[in-house]
Amino acid sequence: MKAVVLLSGGLDSSTTAYLARSEGYEICAVSFDYGQRHWRELKSATRIAQMVGAIEHRIVRFDLRQWGGGSALTSSLELPLDRSTDEMGEGIPVTYVPARNTIFLAFGLSYAEAVGAELVYIGANAIDYSGYPDCRPDYLTAMQTVFTLGTKAGREGRPIRLEFPLVEMTKPEIVLLGDRLGVPWEKTYSCYTGAELSCGHCDSCLLRIAAFEAAGRADPLTYAG
Amino acid sequence: MKAVVLLSGGLDSSTTAYLARSEGYEICAVSFDYGQRHWRELKSATRIAQMVGAIEHRIVRFDLRQWGGGSALTSSLELPLDRSTDEMGEGIPVTYVPARNTIFLAFGLSYAEAVGAELVYIGANAIDYSGYPDCRPDYLTAMQTVFTLGTKAGREGRPIRLEFPLVEMTKPEIVLLGDRLGVPWEKTYSCYTGAELSCGHCDSCLLRIAAFEAAGRADPLTYAG
């Protein structure tokens, strides 16, 4: 049985890929080259796809910079650095990209139906200062309805299931789960800057560092300082 | 006020664009170069966008051929020709592309949020032998929920509305509506083959010809025979 896994090469999606494998699925990984600031994460995604034994890894290319949307991830807008978790917890972050997960999930659904996969896994996480609207359970549940009604598979009684196993987990819990599943953390990449050495100051690095600390695990990445 | 219109250059989406204009919106048109059999429809979409006075026309490029999905629109699979409407009415057509409208609508949503548009219009039509699951009202209603829950705009109380005004209309009714709105039919293109001269034999041509006949209007297109 096949499962499509949305894979960015970060902590959450890598853990999700290993979880899907532990549940016995053949993994069809899909990553997106969408005009983000950098392609460093795609290198990690490719490496993780190999290590988890994905039977396919597709990279879908399109360009969200064409309408900007004011996101710090698809423009030269400055990334916030060294924010406290209180600051991160306020509202929707500037790294929000309009409807990004809806686009990713739509491609994941298309891929799943085309290859006959039964599920689509996404590592969305609603806890720990994630203000992203398209990471919340109510949104993901609405996408499940779209998966069921919007496909031939669904209309014929074989709906493709959307799995979001990390959505209610804290980051330290995700680290512990990934550790147990053998995620090769040294191959993952979380930094928003795209530098070869992770910056250690963007929201994503700070949350990662804090998560490993709280979980009592060592993060094998070297940070720029 | 702005509205995003999904525009393929065919009968339904062109009528939808003219309808959006008649309702007073500034039109941001978006078309998709997704690896379909031909690009002829994009030429029509571009011309219609100009004629309807769209303030922007974006073409989003990506490649659905990479996972095929067995659709006659994204592969060399033969198009069915000269089918009766009874045959067309049976099941989901081979021209179904997995999750295509979900992908299109996800991009439309992203575009709308990025430019501050209030609505996204789609010319989906569930009547007259369209077996496409992603053209039906229940599916489109589920997408509205995704629009509301999956965006910053929606979470902040300014949900982007999804409009599908043609969904319950027959093709002859659409011809009459388009006629009243002044759609330049000679610039539209419906044929699945992509030939400069429409074939007159694919499902799409046959439904168009029948619609103009039933509406008592002349279709200005010349057909190959």
Digit-coded pLDDT (tens) for B122-156:
999 987 666 889 999 999 999 999 999 999 999 99
Which residues in chain B have Cβ-Cβ distances shorter than 8 Å to A159?
none
Q: Is A78 on the interface with B (CB under 8 A)?
A: no
Query: Pairing mode, if any, of strands A26-33 and B119-121?
Result: unpaired
Cβ proximity of B72 and B79 under 8 Å? yes
In a domain, A223, yes or no: no
At B71, give phi and psi (nearest 5°). Answer: -85, 145
**A residues 104-133 lying closer than 8 A (beta carbon) to B:** 105-107, 109-111, 113-115, 133
Record: contact B64-A110, CB cut-off 8 A? yes
**Which amino acid is residue A13, in one-letter code?**
S
Residue A111, domain member (yes or no): yes
This model of the complex carries an ipTM of 0.94
More confident call, A97 vs B26: B26
In a domain, B177, yes or no: yes
Distance (Å, rounded) from C-alpha A64 to C-alpha A70? 11
The CATH number linked to B74 is: 3.40.50.620
Residue B197's H or E segment, with its range, is none
Residue A18 lies in a domain: yes
Q: What is the separation of C-alpha B143 from the centre of its chain, rounded to a whole number of angstroms?
A: 16
At B33, is the secondary structure helix, strand, or coil? Answer: strand
> Residue A113 and residue B146: Cβ atoms within 8 Å?
no
In a domain, B170, yes or no: yes
Contact B64, A115 (CB under 8 A): no
Domain that holds residue B115: 2-215
pLDDT at B129: 60
- pTM metric for this prediction: 0.95
Strand pairing class (B2-6; B26-33): parallel
A225 is a domain residue: no
Mutate to test the interface with A, among B36, B110, B160 (most CBs of A within 10 A): B110
Query: Is B163's pLDDT higher than 70?
Result: yes
Give the lowest-confidence range in A10-19, A138-147, A194-203: A194-203
Q: Which chain B residues are within 8 Å of A100, Cβ to Cβ?
A: 110
pLDDT tens profile B56-104: 999 999 999 888 767 778 877 788 888 888 888 777 888 888 999 999 9
Q: CA–CA separation, A135 vs A30, rounded Å?
A: 18
Could you tell me if A211 lies within 8 Å of chain B, comparing CB atoms? no
| Tokens standing for residue A193 | 């800057």
Backbone phi and psi for residue A159, each to the nearest 5 degrees, phi listed first: -60, 140
Minimal C-alpha gap between A217 and chain B (Å): 33
Residue B81, phi then psi, degrees to nearest 5:
-125, 150
Q: What is the average per-residue pLDDT within B191-207?
A: 90
Average pLDDT over residues A188-206: 91
For chain B, what is the mean pLDDT?
Answer: 92
Residue B80, pLDDT score: 82
Which amino acid does the sequence have at B138? D
Q: pLDDT by residue (tens digit) across A48-99?
A: 999 999 999 999 999 998 887 667 787 777 888 888 888 887 778 888 889 9
Residue A188 lies in a domain: yes
How confident is the model over A117-139, as pLDDT tens digits? 999 999 999 876 668 899 999 99
Q: Which of residues 49-68 of A touch B (CB under 8 A)?
A: 58, 60-64, 66-68
* Number of separate domains in chain A: 1
Q: In sequence order, what are the beta bridge partners of A29?
A: A5, A57
Q: How many interface pairs between A and B have CB atoms less than 8 angstroms apart?
A: 140
pLDDT at residue A209 in the model? 95
Interacting residues of B51 by C-beta distance below 8 A, sequence separation 6+: B184, B187
Q: Is residue B204 part of a domain?
A: yes
Give mean pLDDT, residues B16-44: 93
Please return the burial class of B84, using the count of CB atoms within 10 Å of its CB with bins 0-12, 13-18 and 19+.
Answer: exposed
Kindly give, in sequence order, each residue whose CB lies less than 8 Å from that of residue B45, ignoring residues fewer than 6 positions away: B7, B8, B9, B13, B29, B31, B57, B59
Helix/strand/coil percentages in chain B, nearest 5: 40, 15, 45
Candidate from A63, A133, A150 with C-beta closest to B139: A150
pLDDT score recorded for residue B75: 78
